[in-house]
Amino acid sequence: MVNKLLFAAALLAAGHTLAAETAPRASVVEGDPQVIGTAPLAPEADGFLDPLRELKFNPGLDQREFERSTLEALNVYDPLESVNRRVYHFNYRLDQWVLLPLVNGYQYITPRFVRSGVTNFFNNLGDVPNLFNSVLQLKAKRSAEITARLMFNTIIGVGGLWDPATRMGLPRQSEDFGQTLGFYGVPEGPYLVLPLLGPSNLRDTTGLVVDYAGEQAVNYLDVADTSKKHPEIFALRVVDKRYTTNFRYGQLNSPFEYEKVRYVYTQSRKLQIAD
Amino acid sequence: MAVAASARDIDAASYGYPLTNPFEATIATTPPDQRPMLPSDDEIDQSDYSLTLRPEREFTLPDNFWAVKKLKYRLARQDHAAPLIFIIAGTGASYSSSINEYLKKLFYQAGFHVVQLSSPTSFDFISAASRFATPGISQDDAQDMYRVMQAVRAQHARLPVTDFYLTGYSLGALDAAFVSHLDETRRSFNFKRVLLLNPPVNLYTSINNLDKLVQTQVKGIDRSTTFYELMLEKLTRYFQEKGYIDLNEALLYDFQQSRQHLSNEQMAMLIGTSFRFSAADIAFTSDLINRRGLIIPPKQPITEGTSLTPYFKRALQCDFDCYMTEQVIPMWRARTGGGTILELTNQVSLYALKDYLQNSKKIAVMHNADDVILGPGDIGFLRKVFGDRLTLYPHGGHCGNLNYRVNSDAMLEFFRG
C-alpha cells in the first residue's frame, strides 16, 4: 500500500515537471501539481535519460541564490564566538576521549533490552517537564496525550522501563521550558556552546535551569532525591543521553562544522517551537 | 549496436524501483521496506583506527585542525579468515558516510572484512593523507589512496585475509578504477573483483552538472525569502499539519506526499546545495594547506577560538568549476608543464583507463539511466568499454537505488561470482 502511494507521489511529481516543461513559460502559475497523462521523455540512443532536461533553469545561469541563502544563514547572533569555539573543541575532545569510550563500554557490558529499558526510564522522567511545558503553552491535546503516556508508561510500563504508550500511538513529544519561552515570544539571545551539553542559547539555557529545578522540586518516582545520594544514577543518565544522541563530532567532516551545527541548532529549535 | 546490446539493461517493469523521479530517488533513496535486511551496529565487530601519513601536517596545520591531523578509517572484522573489501566514499564524504555504512553492513553480512575509507576529496583525507592537498587529479588521488590502503593493511598485518576486493560509489568509484589500475603494477592487493557504483564518466561534465543544479528557477524565492527559509517554512507547515515532529526514515516519503512536497527544481537546488558545501570545504582546505592565499591569507594565525566564518563566506562563493580553475589547473600545469583543460579532463576521467577497463574482466560497473552526474554519450561510452559488465538500471537517480534489494543482491552476486 505504501509503495503504491509512493509510486503515485513519484508520478505526481513527474507529471508536475512535464506540465511545467510543456506549458509555455508565461502560463506557468504557482499551484498544485496536476497529473497529466503525457508519455515519459524519450531516452537518448544509448539509454540516457537526462534528468537536467526536465528542469527549468535561470536563463543566465548566474543567479546567486545559494550564496545569498547561505550568507544569510550565517547570520546567527554569536557575540561569544571565540569562547564558544573553544568550548566546542573542549566538548569534541571530551566526547572522543571520555564519553564515547564510556558509551562503548556501556554497550559492551549491557544487553540491548537493558539499554532500551534505561532509555525508556529516563524518557519517562522527562515526560514530567514535557507535560508541564505543554500545559504552560496551553496545548490541551498534547498535554492530555503526555498525561496518558505518563500513566501508561509508569503503571503498565513498570516505572517507565517499558514504553507501551508509543506502541499505542502516543509518540514522545518533547517540550522544554526553552520552547515555552520561545512560544511566548522570548528571543533566543546569544548563541552559547555549553560545556558537556553542547549547542544552546541564552533562552534555552535558562530553560534548562528551570526544567532542572522543576525536576528536583517534583522529585518524580523519587529519582531526583535518590540521585543526590547515588551519583551513579546521574552518571548513567549522562551515558544514556550520549548513547541516544546520534551526533558525532567530525561527522559533518567539514572545516565549518561549528557554523553548520550552529545553524541547524537554531533552526531546529524554531521548528520545535512552531509545532 | 551489437556491442551496445550486450550491456545488462534492466527494464523498468521487472525492476520495480518505486521512485521514478531521479531527484526524489537521489534525496530519499529506497523506501525502508524495500531495502535489504541488514545487521545492526551491535552485531558488527568494528572499530575506528587512525593513521599518521603526513607527520609534517602536525606542525603546518593550525591548532583547530587537531582532529584531522590523522586519517581515520573504520574496520569491521570477521572472526575467521575472510576476504577483505575496501569501500571508497563519494565526493567530500567521510568513511562513516551513510552509503559507506550501508555498504559495510551489506558486505559484512556476506562474510567480508570491511574497510571504510574517506574520499580523497573529503576534509579529513585532504588534511591527513593527501600529498598535494589538491584533489581532482585522479591519478594523484589514487596514489594517495593506495598508500592509505597499504597502511591499513600494515596496521592489521595479522588479520587473516583471503582475497582483496574493492568498491566505491560516485567519485569514489572513479577513484576505485584508478586504484585498481595502479594495483596492476604495484601488486599489493591483486584485487579479485572491483565494482564501480555510479561513477562519473567525464569528470568535467559531472562537476558542471552539479554546479548547474543551484541555477534552477525555484518558485517561492523572493527578496525576503531565501531558499533555506522556503525549505524551513515548508517543513514547519508540514509538521504543523501533522501535529507533531517525528523524524524517522519514512519522513521523506511522507513529506513528498504532503501538500508541502518539493518540486523538481527545489529538489535539484537542494542536491546542488549539498554539493556546493562540499566544494566550499575542498576549496578552503586545499587553499589553507597549500597557502595559496585565495581564501585565507597564508600567514593568518588561527587558534581554536578563531572564527572561520569570514573564510567560509569566501569559500562558499567557489563552486567546483571555480575550484578546478583556481586551484587544480594551475597546480597541474605547474607540475606537468602546461596542458589544455581538455587534456586534463581526458587524464582524470574514465577515458584515461579505456583500454584497461575494456580488457580487465574483473571490473564491473552499475549505473542508472537517469543519474544527474552523467552527460550525453557517457552511457554509450560505458556500454562500449564494459560490454556485459555494465548493469544499467532505468531509475535510481544518483546512488538512490544502491540500497534497493535488487541492487544489493546484484552487488553481492558480483562479488561472489
Nearest to B239 among A73, A171, A275 (CB): A275
Partner-chain contact A2 B19, CB within 8 Å: no
Partner-chain contact A255 B65, CB within 8 Å: yes
Predicted pLDDT of residue B250:
75
Instruction: Give pTM, 2 decimals.
Output: 0.90
Nearest to A69 among B33, B66, B228 (CB): B228
Measured CA angle at B388 (ends B386, B394), to 5 deg? 95
Size of interface A-B (CB pairs under 8 A): 224
Residue B17 · residue B396 · CB < 8 Å: yes
Partner-chain contact A270 B65, CB within 8 Å: no
Predicted pLDDT of residue B222:
87
The phi and psi torsions of A202 (rounded to 5 degrees) equal -60, -45
Partner-chain contact B305 A58, CB within 8 Å: no
Mutate to test the interface with B, among A6, A90, A139, A248 (most CBs of B within 10 A): A6
A96-to-A204, B297, B368 alpha-carbon distances in Å: 25, 31, 39
Map residue A95 onto helix, strand or coil.
helix
Distance CA B141, CA B177 (A): 11
Q: What is the pLDDT of residues A156-215, one digit of tens each?
A: 999 899 999 999 989 899 999 999 999 999 999 999 999 999 999 999 999 999 999 999
Nearest CA in chain A to B5: A46
Residue A217 neighbours by CB under 8 Å, 6+ apart: none
Nearest to B236 among A71, A254, A274 (CB): A274
Predicted ipTM beyond 0.90: yes
Task: Give the mean pLDDT of B360-364.
Answer: 97
Distance CA B314, CA B308 (A): 10
Distance CA B38, CA B76 (A): 14
Predicted pLDDT of residue B172:
98
Measured CA angle at A256 (ends A255, A258), to 5 deg? 120
Residues of chain B with C-beta less than 8 angstroms from the C-beta of A173: 244-245
Gap from B329 CA to chain A (nearest CA, Å)? 23
Reported as a pLDDT band with limits 50, 70 and 90, residue A134 is: very high
Partner-chain contact A66 B261, CB within 8 Å: no
Residue A132 has pLDDT above 60, yes or no: yes
Partner-chain contact A3 B272, CB within 8 Å: no
Partner-chain contact A66 B276, CB within 8 Å: yes
Distance CA B125, CA B92 (A): 9
Task: Give the mean pLDDT of B215-229.
Answer: 90
Residue B66 · residue B50 · CB < 8 Å: no
Predicted pLDDT of residue A36:
43
Task: Compute the half-sphere exposure of residue A116: CA atoms within 13 Å on the CB side of its CA.
Answer: 7
Grid cell digits, residue A238: 549522562
Q: What is the pLDDT of residues B103-159, one digit of tens each?
A: 999 999 999 999 999 999 999 999 999 999 999 999 999 999 999 999 999 999 999
B240-to-A147, B160, B235, B260 alpha-carbon distances in Å: 21, 54, 9, 11
Residue A146 · residue A127 · CB < 8 Å: yes
Distance CA B157, CA B153 (A): 6
Distance CA B229, CA B97 (A): 26
Q: What is the pLDDT of residues A23-66, one digit of tens each?
A: 333 333 334 444 444 445 678 889 999 999 989 999 888 899 99
Short-list A224, A226, A186, CA closest to A202: A186
Q: What is the pLDDT of residues A214-255, one digit of tens each?
A: 999 998 988 888 888 998 999 999 999 999 998 899 989 999
Residues of chain A with C-beta less than 8 angstroms from the C-beta of B20: 7, 10-11, 14
Partner-chain contact B370 A14, CB within 8 Å: no
Count H helices and E strands in chain A, helices first. Answer: 12, 2
Gap from A16 CA to chain B (nearest CA, Å)? 8
Short-list B175, B166, B55, B34, CA closest to B107: B166
Q: 3-class secondary structure for B29-93?
A: CCCHHHCCCCCCHHHCCEEEEEECCCCCHHHHCCHHHHHHCCEEEEEECCCCCEEEEEEECCCCC
Distance CA B249, CA A217 (A): 38
Partner-chain contact A272 B245, CB within 8 Å: yes
Residues of chain A with C-beta less than 8 angstroms from the C-beta of B261: 9, 12-13, 33
Residues of chain B with C-beta less than 8 angstroms from the C-beta of A86: 304-305
Gap from B385 CA to chain A (nearest CA, Å)? 13
Q: What is the pLDDT of residues B194-207, one digit of tens each?
A: 999 999 999 999 99
Predicted pLDDT of residue B254:
85
Short-list B1, B335, B396, CA closest to B197: B396
Grid cell digits, residue B237: 507547515
Predicted pLDDT of residue A40:
58
Complete domains list, chain B, with CATH = 4-202+341-416 (3.40.50.1820), 210-336 (no CATH)
Mutate to test the interface with B, among A55, A67, A80, A251 (most CBs of B within 10 A): A55
Partner-chain contact B220 A30, CB within 8 Å: yes
Distance CA B29, CA B396 (A): 8
Q: Long-range CB contacts (< 8 A, 24+ apart) of B320-323? A: B320/B207, B320/B208, B320/B210, B320/B211, B320/B275, B320/B279, B321/B207, B321/B208, B321/B211, B322/B279, B322/B283, B323/B136, B323/B279, B323/B282, B323/B283, B323/B286
Gap from B290 CA to chain A (nearest CA, Å)? 15
Grid cell digits, residue B362: 574483473
Partner-chain contact A69 B19, CB within 8 Å: no
**Cα pseudo-dihedral B196, B199, B203, B204, rounded to 10:** 160
Mutate to test the interface with A, among B238, B304, B318, B406 (most CBs of A within 10 A): B304
Mutate to test the interface with A, among B282, B370, B395 (most CBs of A within 10 A): B370
Gap from B108 CA to chain A (nearest CA, Å)? 20
Task: Give the mean pLDDT of B321-333.
Answer: 96
Partner-chain contact A253 B221, CB within 8 Å: no
Q: What is the gyration radius of the CA atoms in chain B, in angstroms?
A: 21
Q: Average per-residue pLDDT in chain B? A: 94
